[in-house]
C-alpha cells in the first residue's frame, strides 16, 4: 500500500490549494479527482474579486497572495460595476472592481503547481471510502481498486461532501442549497464592464439571476434558485429560458444570443458546517460550506482555506500541532465575513416573498448601503441591532444556566 503524508480528495480550488501548499512544504502529497480532466466542465460564473476588493473583504487573511496572483494571471475581462436590477427595472450601479477569469485554466494551473512541487495527481480516480482508525482510503483508479494510507486526509470533494457525510459530520441541508444553471452565450448585447444581478422571484426564487460579461458579446448567463422558494413544477431550464426570453428587462440583450454550452451545479449557502475537522480529516472549500452565502461565491474562500489546511497539515505532521488549529485559523481569517454573509442572505430571504417587497427593500436600502452590503459589510444600525440580539441571547443563556446549577 502506498503511503502519503497528505491525501486530498478533490482537485478543485480548495484541494489543489492544499496540495500546492503541502507539497511545497515538503510533505508527500497525493491529490485525486474523479474527473478525467481538471476544471471540466466549468460550473462557475468565473466572477472574481479584484485585489483591492479581496483585501477589503478579507482584511484578516494572511493567505490571499496566490489567489490574487492567479486571478490576475487568468483574467479575461475586467468589470468596474455591479448592477443590481429590481423586478420593476430599477437599476442600482455599484462601483465594484472585479475580474472575469478563465476558470478552467485557473484550476489546471493550481493543480500543476502542486505537481511541480512533487505532489502526485491522479485523475479518473474516485474515493470510495475512508477508514480513520487505520488511516487508509479506498480508491477506484482507472477501473481498478487501490488502497493508500495517509497521515492527514483532506475532504475537498465539493458540495455535500460524501467524505464528511461518511464520517457522520453534518453537511449542507437541502434548505441551504442553491440550485444553479448557466449558459455561456455568444452574440449577446451587453455592457462588458458591468456585471448584472437581477432580483426577481419569478426568474430566480430565493436567489438571483446574473449576466457576467466574458467579453464584448460573450456572457455567462445564469441563475440560482432555492428549493424552498421554487415552484414545484418549474425546472431550472424553464427558469433560465424564461429569464432570457420572457423577461422584458433582458430579452433585448439576450434573446437573439447563441447558447454555446449549458451546465448546472449546486452551491452551499447555509454557511460553514458546524465542524470542519474530525480525527485526522480536514474538510475544506464547498465541502465545508466555506462560501460567501449572500452571492454564492466560493473560489476565494476555497483557496484561502485550502492554503491554511496545507499549512496546518504540515505543522501537525512536523510538530504535532492539533488539527483543530485549522478550524481556529480559518475562523480567525474568514469567520466574520462568512457569518455576515449568512445574515445578509437571511435578510434577503425575508424579501423574497414577493417582487414588490424586493423592490421596496432595494429602494429603502439604497445605492450607498448596497455598496457596503455587496462587500459583506453590514450598515452600522444593523450591526447595533444584531449585537443587541446576540448579547440578549447570551445573557438569557447565562441566566438560564444560573437557575440550572
Ligand X SMILES: Cc1cc2nc3c(=O)[nH]c(=O)nc-3n(C[C@H](O)[C@H](O)[C@H](O)COP(=O)(O)OP(=O)(O)OC[C@H]3O[C@@H](n4cnc5c(N)ncnc54)[C@H](O)[C@@H]3O)c2cc1C
Return the residue of 182, 183, 313, 341 that touches ligand X, per CB under 6 A.
182
Nearer to ligand X, 35 or 56 (CB): 35
What grid cell was written down for 235? 425546472
Q: Strand, helix or coil at 240?
A: helix
| 24 contacts ligand X (rule: CB under 6 A) | no
- Asked if 1 contacts 149 with a C-beta cutoff of 8 angstroms, the reply is yes
Q: Find the helix or strand (DSSP H, E) in which 258 lies.
A: strand 258-268
- Nearest Cα to Cα of residue 48 among 101, 102, 96, 94: 101
Instruction: Give the Cα separation of 184 and 277 in Å (integer).
Output: 37
| 157 contacts ligand X (rule: CB under 6 A) | yes
Sole window of 6-14, 250-258, 269-277, 349-357 interacting with ligand X (rule: CB under 6 A): 6-14
| 10 contacts ligand X (rule: CB under 6 A) | yes
- Nearest Cα to Cα of residue 161 among 323, 346, 37, 8: 8
Nearer to ligand X, 178 or 359 (CB): 178
Q: Strand, helix or coil at 25?
A: coil
- Asked if 376 contacts 60 with a C-beta cutoff of 8 angstroms, the reply is no
Q: How far is the CB of 263 from ligand X (least distance, A)?
A: 7
The conformational region for residue 23 under phi > 0 = left, psi -120 to 50 = alpha, else beta, is alpha
**Bridge partners, residue 91, by sequence:** 85
Cβ neighbors of 313 (< 8 A, separation 6 or more) are 5, 6, 18, 22, 27, 151, 152, 154, 282, 323
- For residue 41, is the peptide bond before it cis, meaning its omega torsion is within 30 degrees of 0? yes
Return the residue of 27, 82, 114, 158 that touches ligand X, per CB under 6 A.
158
Sole window of 150-158, 252-260, 365-373, 374-382 interacting with ligand X (rule: CB under 6 A): 150-158
Nearer to ligand X, 140 or 369 (CB): 140
| 75 contacts ligand X (rule: CB under 6 A) | no
Return the residue of 5, 286, 307, 311 that touches ligand X, per CB under 6 A.
286
Q: How far is the CB of 304 from ligand X (least distance, A)?
A: 11
| 317 contacts ligand X (rule: CB under 6 A) | no
| 33 contacts ligand X (rule: CB under 6 A) | yes
Q: How far is the CB of 120 from ligand X (least distance, A)?
A: 14
| 156 contacts ligand X (rule: CB under 6 A) | yes
| Pattern 242-281, ligand X, x by CB under 6 A | -----------------------x-x--------------
What grid cell was written down for 324? 483543530
Q: How far is the CB of 256 from ligand X (least distance, A)?
A: 23
Q: How far is the CB of 90 from ligand X (least distance, A)?
A: 24
| 140 contacts ligand X (rule: CB under 6 A) | no
Strand residues in 70-166 grouped as ranges (E): 75-86, 91-101, 120-122, 125-131, 136-141, 144-155
Nearer to ligand X, 98 or 247 (CB): 98
Residue 233 exposed, middle or buried by CB count within 10 Å (0-12, 13-18, 19+):
exposed
| 64 contacts ligand X (rule: CB under 6 A) | no
What grid cell was written down for 187? 452574440
Q: How far is the CB of 11 from ligand X (least distance, A)?
A: 6
What grid cell was written down for 308? 491554511
Give the binding-site size for ligand X (rule: CB under 6 A): 37
Nearer to ligand X, 159 or 359 (CB): 159
Binding site for ligand X (CB under 6 A): 9-15, 32-35, 43-47, 126-127, 156-158, 162, 180, 182, 222, 265, 267, 285-287, 291, 296-300, 302
Amino acid at each position: 500500500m502506498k503511503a502519503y503524508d497528505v491525501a486530498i480528495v478533490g482537485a478543485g480550488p480548495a484541494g489543489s490549494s492544499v496540495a500546492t501548499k503541502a507539497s511545497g512544504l515538503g510533505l508527500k502529497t497525493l491529490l485525486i479527482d474523479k474527473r478525467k480532466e481538471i476544471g471540466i466542465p466549468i460550473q462557475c460564473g468565473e466572477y472574481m474579486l479584484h485585489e483591492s476588493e479581496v483585501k477589503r473583504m478579507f482584511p484578516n487573511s494572511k493567505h490571499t497572495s496566490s489567489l490574487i496572483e492567479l486571478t490576475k494571471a487568468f483574467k479575461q475581462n475586467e468589470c468596474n460595476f455591479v448592477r443590481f436590477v429590481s423586478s420593476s427595472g430599477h437599476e442600482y450601479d455599484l462601483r465594484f472592481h472585479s475580474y472575469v477569469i478563465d476558470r478552467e485554466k485557473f484550476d489546471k494551473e493550481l493543480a500543476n503547481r502542486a505537481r511541480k512541487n512533487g505532489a502526485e495527481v491522479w485523475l479518473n480516480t474516485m474515493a470510495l471510502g475512508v477508514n480513520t482508525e487505520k488511516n487508509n482510503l479506498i480508491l477506484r483508479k482507472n477501473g481498478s481498486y487501490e488502497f493508500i494510507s495517509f497521515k492527514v486526509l483532506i475532504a475537498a470533494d465539493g458540495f455535500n461532501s460524501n467524505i464528511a457525510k461518511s464520517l457522520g459530520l453534518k453537511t449542507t441541508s437541502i434548505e441551504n442549497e442553491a440550485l444553479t444553471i448557466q449558459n455561456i452565450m455568444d452574440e449577446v448585447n451587453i455592457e462588458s464592464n458591468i456585471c448584472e444581478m437581477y432580483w426577481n422571484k419569478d426568474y430566480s426564487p430565493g436567489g438571483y439571476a446574473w449576466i457576467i460579461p466574458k467579453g464584448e458579446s460573450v456572457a455567462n448567463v445564469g441563475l440560482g434558485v432555492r428549493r424552498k422558494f421554487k415552484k414545484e413544477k418549474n425546472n431550472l431550464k424553464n427558469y433560465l429560458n424564461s429569464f432570457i426570453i420572457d423577461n422584458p428587462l433582458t430579452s433585448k440583450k439576450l434573446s437573439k444570443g447563441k447558447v454555446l454550452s449549458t451546465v448546472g451545479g449546486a452551491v452551499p449557502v447555509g454557511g460553514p458546517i458546524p465542524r470542519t475537522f474530525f480525527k485526522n480529516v480536514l474538510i475544506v472549500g464547498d465541502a465545508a460550506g466555506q462560501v460567501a452565502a449572500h452571492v454564492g461565491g466560493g473560489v476565494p474562500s476555497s483557496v484561502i482555506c485550502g492554503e491554511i489546511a496545507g499549512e496546518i497539515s504540515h505543522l501537525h505532521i512536523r510538530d504535532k500541532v492539533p488539527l483543530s488549529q485549522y478550524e481556529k485559523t480559518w475562523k480567525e481569517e474568514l469567520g466574520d465575513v462568512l457569518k455576515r454573509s449568512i445574515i445578509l442572505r437571511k435578510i434577503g430571504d425575508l424579501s423574497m416573498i414577493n417582487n414588490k417587497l424586493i423592490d421596496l427593500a432595494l429602494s429603502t436600502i439604497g445605492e450607498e448601503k448596497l455598496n457596503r452590503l455587496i462587500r459583506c459589510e453590514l450598515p452600522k444600525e444593523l450591526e447595533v441591532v444584531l449585537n443587541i440580539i446576540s448579547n440578549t441571547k447570551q445573557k438569557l443563556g447565562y441566566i438560564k444556566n444560573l437557575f440550572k446549577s
